[in-house]
Amino acid sequence: MSTRATSIWGWGYADKFPEAEARRALGEQVSALLGGPPLEPREPAALDALRLPRPRVAPPEALAALCSVEDTDRAAHTYGKGYGDLVRGFHGDFSSAPDFVARPRTEEDVRAVMDWCGNHRVALIPFGGGTSVVRGVEAAIGDGFRGAVSLDMRGMDRVVEVDPVSRAARIQAGATGPVLEAQLASHGFTLRHFPQSFEFSTLGGWIATRAGGHFATLYTHIDDLVQSTRMLTPRGLYETRRLPASGAGPAPDRLVLGSEGTLGVITEAWVRVQARPRFRANASVHFPDFTSGARAVRELSQSGLHPSNCRLLDAQESFLNGVTGDGSCVLVLAFESADHPQQAKMERALAITASHGGECREGARYRSEEMGSQARAGGAADSWRSAFIEAPYLQNVMVSLGVIADTFETACTWDRFDELHGSILESMRGALERICGGGSVSCRFTHVYPDGPAPYYTFIGPAKPGGELAQWMALKQAASDAVMAHGGTITHHHAVGRLHRPWYDRERPEPFALALKAVKGALDPQGILNPGVLVGP
Amino acid sequence: MSTRATSIWGWGYADKFPEAEARRALGEQVSALLGGPPLEPREPAALDALRLPRPRVAPPEALAALCSVEDTDRAAHTYGKGYGDLVRGFHGDFSSAPDFVARPRTEEDVRAVMDWCGNHRVALIPFGGGTSVVRGVEAAIGDGFRGAVSLDMRGMDRVVEVDPVSRAARIQAGATGPVLEAQLASHGFTLRHFPQSFEFSTLGGWIATRAGGHFATLYTHIDDLVQSTRMLTPRGLYETRRLPASGAGPAPDRLVLGSEGTLGVITEAWVRVQARPRFRANASVHFPDFTSGARAVRELSQSGLHPSNCRLLDAQESFLNGVTGDGSCVLVLAFESADHPQQAKMERALAITASHGGECREGARYRSEEMGSQARAGGAADSWRSAFIEAPYLQNVMVSLGVIADTFETACTWDRFDELHGSILESMRGALERICGGGSVSCRFTHVYPDGPAPYYTFIGPAKPGGELAQWMALKQAASDAVMAHGGTITHHHAVGRLHRPWYDRERPEPFALALKAVKGALDPQGILNPGVLVGP
């Protein structure tokens, strides 16, 4: 594990939180954008001023070596990294802190912690990498428990086995993106699952939350890369057979995927890996408006070309991400392959985008490692990628400036998209005006399917001092209500957690809720695993 | 619905069962192959000699108009179309006959039948198109019920709605392949799901059993084509939201897919349709042995080329299907697209197969409807396709000749394939020798994945008169034990039913069995739906 310190309250490495002067300069840009008064950067609560409840339970002697009761550890495991988490942490409010943190090194350790929790009516919250943006790792567990333990799996981070013939690897659930990629690289493979949280999130967390990754089409979720799973439940080991496919009853892995820590603790998985891409094609295509861009993306999604990247940014996103500032929408388009050149696919794709008014200003760029060319993709693709990785750091700054800044995402069928998109923009603009006195909302597509897109929205608005959480929740409510009213899903890849639960309950069929409740009762009869998520009160 | 009569005991249309003379000629070919004595064709039991139990329950007045108590209807709904079904039917043994057959015209009819069954402790067996080869539709329900009703859904066969923008269609579950394709064609679309049972199986059956279809890669199962499902359960309507994708908890559709009639009756689904392919590329590649062919297919499966057809036939299959008789193995390879030419992909694929010793004797053939060429694919592809569709009819003849002829299929990771394949061949050859005094086993790949193939085995052997069922079960046992011992799944796309249940119980994780049992209890508390399948005694 890295020894570089991570922020207790904010996203990522602590040393990446800018000095006040730099934040003030950013504040000037933001207030210019929002048209409000100058924004003054505030400082997060000092380490010795964090407010945590006294622990209700202590780790037993047998587990003491795995456990930490330190307040800094408890604080760092209190929340995920959603806007509401950052705000509470920034102000030193760690009232949901777990009673202690357990760091298993082996599956036996996990079993021991789980047994102890079950025997002592203590909630067990799998922490993953702690990057949940939906309150998925927060011990908001109600009164039915004597306490709560946060289970930090990052000590179990090895690539245990690689099968080069089937191109698969057995990896422990606590491995973060960089840690598993570094180990796979030594075998000549890559998983190529790059969610925005890549640096800090874990394989187990990806599986538990059905994380969305690198590929804009075809292999969009971690679901598509999972060959088999191994999950420890209070009723025993849930380990599926390694298979490329099966038709034997409902798929057992599909119950693990999306279980969000409520049915067991994922300890390992076999995942499908691949050779590093050697052929690439990149282009950015400008459209006069989002509607024509969306039509082009729809035709691309139904063409069978399967671009690896197909991210349509609206004018505001294009501007905010430094891709272009001329009011056009930009489609960031890429193809990649470890096997064969991608020119023909890109040419066909550009013919499709041109037929919808798209303009490829710089010409497509091709890179083949085989041909020895080291030309960078460049242009919009590069600008977009660096903005993508840095975006969560920017949210830290926004919190310090007193600006509400958050994202939400959904997916819907193409026939509903225009209506859903229009309604979300209208609803969010109205809500920002009403609640914040102004603000901005923008959209991009992160993933696309033959039958619909996954639009991703970013909104910012000035907060009223002290009222940030209530304002943010009102905005979240407006966004989620619009999504649900117009045929979207409450989440395409951010998971349900505690934040999305009310809308999730409306989205799923009622008999499925009964089914899931029954499964929970069968596998976790004491209900200790991540209480309140997906099922139960 | 077609008025052409279907066989009560055998596969397909009754008029396709050859006259005795033609069967005698086939028998000579088979006995030449098996090296045994001449095979004399027998005649199936006469219609007035079928043995059915007396009905235990009768349809109530309110349902009488939907129900049939005729013995021919009861007999035609007694079994699926597996080898054991054909043998029993051929000899007139219909001892598992349902008490009556219900043919709902609306979802309300389904509800009424389900309610009546629940209130009267009568088992309800969704029949689909009755093409199960795993005893999935047989009322072998034990003593816990007062009777059994077979639910024939084929009266609900309409394409209700087409969404051309999202390329999706809402289709009633009782539509068979030809019936739904004809309706989709009038909208310019196709589902392109072509299981071997295509002519007679239904959309609902495909979903309930996770049927495998046309595409050898990428969209291999109906699972991949389902956008949302609608299933009537004893606890209410289970209807999922139409979505291209979601990350909201475990996927509700994935519990319907593979539920095999145990959790509810599927009444409708939204499925992803597509434009008819306009560009095609076909080739057949000969390999000196199966091992080199399998290596070539492995590299193809990991290339990202995604052929629509990639079926490797061993020497015996190539001979039996009339593709070639020179002892080589043949790979039937095809690409198709509605959007762009497939030449480049085929050329890259043939470079891969050539590097493994594959020889494309006739050259690849390309057909583009755009270019006005009507050249047929021809060669091995055509021979293979017609043999594929006719194969189940051949099984009728085999039964009349007293020959055991059956297939089984699995999937495994590539690293296990050589061992699994060797073990299956050895085990089946030994079992055929021991049990039948000789016989033949052959293999082909029906579907392939980056991490493993789905091999499909055909075996034939002479039966001892009167001992067919016991001999067949002993062969099935040998096959299934070998599959399970070497890392395969008990079924890649034939489902579990009652036939595969013992091995399925070993394949699935024990906590998943607990979960499924809990779901069954929650959705079907009286346990009336297809008892004995997947869960329960």
Does A515 contact B523 at a Cβ distance shorter than 8 Å?
yes
- Coil, helix or strand for B155? coil
Task: Collect all residues with Cβ–Cβ distance below 8 Å to A97 and sequence separation of at least 6.
Answer: A52, A53, A71, A74, A75, A77, A78, A139
Over 60: is that where the pLDDT of A481 sits?
yes
Q: What Cα–Cα distance (Å) separates residue A98 from each residue in A60, A78, A109, B483?
A: 15, 6, 18, 47
Q: How far off is chain A from B258, nearest CA to CA, in Å?
A: 4
Categorize the per-residue pLDDT at B324 as very low, low, confident or very high, splitting at 50, 70 and 90.
Answer: confident
Mean pLDDT across chain A: 95
Over 90: is that where the pLDDT of A121 sits?
yes
Q: Could you say which DSSP state residue B199 is in?
A: T
Q: What is the pLDDT of residue A379?
A: 61
What's the rounded Cα separation, in Å, for the pair A195 and A214? 6
Task: Dump pLDDT digits (tens) for B123-154.
Answer: 999 999 999 999 999 999 989 999 999 999 99
Q: If contacts are CB pairs under 8 Å, which of residues 93-112 in chain A contact chain B?
A: none
Amino acid residing at A212: G
Q: What is the pLDDT of residue A378?
A: 52
A-chain CB neighbours of B412 within 8 Å are 243-244
Amino acid residing at A310: C
Q: Does B515 touch chain A (CB under 8 A)?
A: yes
**Pick from A522, B240, B423: nearest CA to B431:** B423
What's the rounded Cα separation, in Å, for the pair B269 and B231? 9
Task: Collect all residues with Cβ–Cβ distance below 8 Å to A102 and sequence separation of at least 6.
Answer: A59, A63, A66, A67, A109, A113, A149, A150, A151, A152
**Which residue intervals of chain B bear CATH 3.30.43.10?**
47-152
Task: Dump pLDDT digits (tens) for A149-166.
Answer: 999 999 999 999 999 999
Categorize the per-residue pLDDT at A342 as very low, low, confident or very high, splitting at 50, 70 and 90.
Answer: very high
Q: What is the pLDDT of residue B35?
A: 86
Categorize the per-residue pLDDT at A386 as very low, low, confident or very high, splitting at 50, 70 and 90.
Answer: confident
Amino acid residing at B466: G
Q: Tell the CATH topology of A159-275.
A: 3.30.465
What's the rounded Cα separation, in Å, for the pair B34 and B22? 18
Give the mean pLDDT of A422-443. Answer: 97
Strands B279-287 and B365-368, sheet pairing: antiparallel
Over 50: is that where the pLDDT of A127 sits?
yes
Does B512 contact A255 at a Cβ distance shorter than 8 Å?
yes
Over 50: is that where the pLDDT of B322 sits?
yes
- Mutation target among A207, A352, A484, A512 for the B interface, most CBs of B within 10 A: A512
What's the rounded Cα separation, in Å, for the pair A268 and A242? 12
Does A248 contact B258 at a Cβ distance shorter than 8 Å?
yes
Does A452 contact B244 at a Cβ distance shorter than 8 Å?
yes
Q: Does B454 touch chain A (CB under 8 A)?
A: yes
Which of A61-75, A362-376, B203-217 shows the lowest mean pLDDT across its residues?
A362-376
Which of A98-112, A228-242, A248-262, A384-398 shows the lowest mean pLDDT across its residues?
A384-398
Q: If contacts are CB pairs under 8 Å, which of residues 31-70 in chain B contact chain A?
A: none
Q: What is the pLDDT of residue A383?
A: 67
Q: Does A274 touch chain B (CB under 8 A)?
A: yes
Indicate the residue of A249, A412, A451 with minimum beta-carbon distance to B258: A249
% of chain B with per-residue pLDDT over 90: 88
Give the residue from chain A lying closest to B163, CA to CA: A415
- Mutation target among B232, B514, B535 for the A interface, most CBs of A within 10 A: B514
Number of A/B CB contacts below 8 angstroms equals 295
Over 90: is that where the pLDDT of A324 sits?
no
Give the residue from chain A lying closest to B169, CA to CA: A451
Categorize the per-residue pLDDT at B373 as very low, low, confident or very high, splitting at 50, 70 and 90.
Answer: very low
Q: Assess contact for B51 and B94: CB atoms under 8 A.
A: yes
Q: How far off is chain A from B357, nearest CA to CA, in Å?
A: 19
Task: Dump pLDDT digits (tens) for B33-78.
Answer: 888 888 999 999 999 999 999 999 999 999 999 999 999 999 999 9
Indicate the residue of B244, B255, B303 with minimum beta-carbon distance to A411: B244
**Which residue intervals of chain A bear CATH 3.30.300.330?**
402-499
Give the residue from chain B lying closest to A449, CA to CA: B244
In sequence order, the β-bridge partners of residue A202 are A176
Q: Tell the CATH topology of A47-152.
A: 3.30.43
Please report where in the chains the tokens 């000549």 appear, as a residue: A188
Q: What is the pLDDT of residue B374?
A: 40
Which of A27-31, A343-347, B133-137, B408-412 shows the lowest mean pLDDT across its residues?
A27-31
DSSP H helical ranges for A267-378: 290-301, 315-320, 343-355
What's the rounded Cα separation, in Å, for the pair B172 and B203? 8
Q: What is the pLDDT of residue A370?
A: 54
Q: Does A244 touch chain B (CB under 8 A)?
A: yes
Over 50: is that where the pLDDT of A30 sits?
yes
- Coil, helix or strand for B449? strand
Indicate the residue of B246, B504, B508 with minimum beta-carbon distance to A492: B246
Categorize the per-residue pLDDT at B370 as very low, low, confident or very high, splitting at 50, 70 and 90.
Answer: low
**Which uninterrupted H or E stretch holds B322?**
none
CATH number given to B402-499: 3.30.300.330
Q: Tell the CATH topology of A279-385.
A: Alpha-Beta Plaits (3.30.70)
Distance, C-alpha B76 to centroid of its chain: 18
Q: What is the pLDDT of residue B531?
A: 98
**Which residue intervals of chain A bear CATH 3.30.465.10?**
159-275
Q: How far off is chain A from B531, nearest CA to CA, in Å?
A: 14
Task: Dump pLDDT digits (tens) for B416-471.
Answer: 999 999 999 999 999 999 999 999 999 999 999 999 999 999 999 999 888 999 99
Does A413 contact B508 at a Cβ distance shorter than 8 Å?
no
CB atoms within 10 A of CB B469: 16
Q: Could you say which DSSP state residue A51 is in?
A: B
Categorize the per-residue pLDDT at B387 as very low, low, confident or very high, splitting at 50, 70 and 90.
Answer: confident
Indicate the residue of B248, B489, B521 with minimum beta-carbon distance to A246: B489
Task: Dump pLDDT digits (tens) for A466-480.
Answer: 899 999 999 999 999
Give the residue from chain A lying closest to B243, CA to CA: A412
What's the rounded Cα separation, in Å, for the pair A84 and A77? 15
What's the rounded Cα separation, in Å, for the pair A146 and A56? 7
Mean pLDDT across chain B: 95
Indicate the residue of A221, A509, A519 with minimum beta-carbon distance to B240: A509
Q: Could you say which DSSP state residue B332 is in?
A: E
Q: What is the pLDDT of residue A292?
A: 97
What global pTM score does this model have? Answer: 0.97
Give the residue from chain B lying closest to A231, CA to CA: B511
Q: Could you say which DSSP state residue A198 is in?
A: T
Q: Does B370 touch chain A (CB under 8 A)?
A: no
Does B415 contact A166 at a Cβ distance shorter than 8 Å?
yes
Give the strand order in the sheet containing B100-102. B67-68, B100-102, B147-151, B122-126
- Coil, helix or strand for A54? coil
Categorize the per-residue pLDDT at A373 as very low, low, confident or very high, splitting at 50, 70 and 90.
Answer: very low
Q: What is the pLDDT of residue B372?
A: 42
Q: What is the pLDDT of residue A371?
A: 44
Strands B440-449 and B452-462, sheet pairing: antiparallel
Q: Does B518 touch chain A (CB under 8 A)?
A: yes
Indicate the residue of B167, B250, B504 with minimum beta-carbon distance to A249: B504
**Which residue intervals of chain B bear CATH 3.30.70.3450?**
279-385
% of chain A with per-residue pLDDT over 70: 96
Task: Dump pLDDT digits (tens) for A221-261.
Answer: 999 999 999 999 999 999 999 999 999 999 999 999 999 99
Indicate the residue of A166, A221, A248 with minimum beta-carbon distance to B247: A221
% of chain A with per-residue pLDDT over 90: 88
